[in-house]
Amino acid sequence: MENAMTSFFSVRFLPKVFAIAAFAFFTVAAANAQCDTDAEAALYNKFLEKFKGSADEQKAASQIGKDYVAKFGTCPSDNEKKITDYIQKWLAKYEAALIDYNCANAADKTPAQAFDLCQPLVAKDPENLRPWLLMTLAGAKNGRTADPKLNENALKAAKRSLDLIADGKTVDNWIFSKQKDDAVGAINYYAGIFALESSPADAAKYFLAAARSPGSYSKEPAVYDALARGIYNSDYKAAATEYNSKCTATSAASECDALYAKAGQVLDRVIDAYARAVALSKDPTAVSATRSNLTELYKLRHNNTDAGLDKLIADVLTKPIP
C-alpha cells in the first residue's frame, strides 16, 4: 500500500512540477534570445549618434533611448546594465531640460501659452523661482490684455516671484536683467501694470516699490508716470470723492478743511510723480502727454497758474519720493 501511494503522488504531481520548471526555462531562454548583442549595439550606436546633437536630433535620441530600455533594459550582463543605466539617466536629464525649454520658449515666443507650459516646473518644485520669473516675463510680453485671466495669472506670477525673492530664493539667470536689483524693480513695475485695472491701490504700491528700488528702474520715466496714474486712480479719487460727498454749504468747516487738505496732499504726490517722469525723460515728444497731465494738475493745485512748475521739475530728483 505504501509503495502504491508513493507512486500515485509521484505520477499525480509530476506534470505540474514539470510545467512550472518548463515555464521558468522558457522565460530565461526568451530573455536571452531578446538580448541580441548585435541588435543592442546597433540601437545604442544610433542613440550615440544623436544624443549630443541639435534639438531635433536629441528628440530622436530620446525615442531611441526609450526603445533601447524597453527592448534591452532587462538584459543581465554588467555591460548591458551600465548602458541601460546611462541611457535612463540621460533620459531623465533630457525630460527635465525639455520641460524647462518649453516653459522658457513659450515665455519668449508664445507668452499666452507659458502659464500652462510652465506648470510642470512649478509642480516639480513650487519653491523654484525660475518658472515664476518666466511667467512674469510672459505677462510682460503679452502686455495689458482684455483677457482678465491672463492678467490674473501674470499678477500671481509676479507676486510669487517677489515673495520667493524676499524668502531668499535666487537664480543663475534673473530673466529681466543680469542684476537682482534690476530684476526686482522690473517685477514690481510689471506687477503694477498687471494690477492697474483691477486694483489701482495695489498697483500704486508696486510702482512705488519699483521707484524706490536700488536698481535701474528707479530711473525709468515710465515707472513714475505709472505711479502718478496709480495714485490718482486710487487715493486721490477716493479723497476727492469723500470731500465732494461730505462737504456742502452747511458742512462743518473744520471737517471739510481736513478733507480738503487730505486730498491736496495726495494730489501733491501725483504731481511729484509726474514731475519725476518729466525730469527723467530724454525724449520731449514721448513725455508730452505726461507734461500735459502734470501742468493740468499743478494748475489745479496752484490757483490755475503754472508759476514755479519748471523749478519743481528741475529740483524734484534731489528730493526723496513722498
**Secondary structure (3-state) at 195:** helix
Look at the block and give the residue holding cell 507659458.
Answer: 114
Backbone angles phi, psi at 238, to 5 degrees: -65, -45
Kindly tell me the burial class for residue 157, based on how many C-beta atoms sit within 10 Å of its own C-beta (0-12, 13-18, 19 or more).
buried
pLDDT at 148: 78
pLDDT digits (tens, 9 = 90+) for 241-284: 999 999 987 778 889 999 999 999 999 999 999 999 999 998 88
- What residue segments make up the domains of the chain, in order of their start? 15-109, 125-219, 222-322
Q: Which amino acid, one-letter code, is at 70?
A: A
pLDDT digits (tens, 9 = 90+) for 109-128: 999 999 999 999 999 999 99
Question: Would you write out the chain's pLDDT as a tens digit for each of its 322 residues?
Answer: 344 333 322 333 333 333 444 344 344 444 454 788 899 999 999 999 999 999 899 999 999 999 999 999 999 999 999 999 999 999 999 998 999 999 999 999 999 999 999 999 999 999 999 999 999 999 999 876 557 788 899 999 999 999 999 999 999 999 999 999 999 999 999 999 999 988 999 999 999 999 999 999 999 999 999 999 999 999 999 999 999 999 987 778 889 999 999 999 999 999 999 999 999 998 888 789 999 999 999 999 999 999 999 999 999 999 999 9
Contact between residue 110 and residue 135 where contact means Cβ atoms under 8 Å apart: no
Residue 189 to residue 211: CA distance in whole angstroms? 8
CA 224 to chain centre: 24
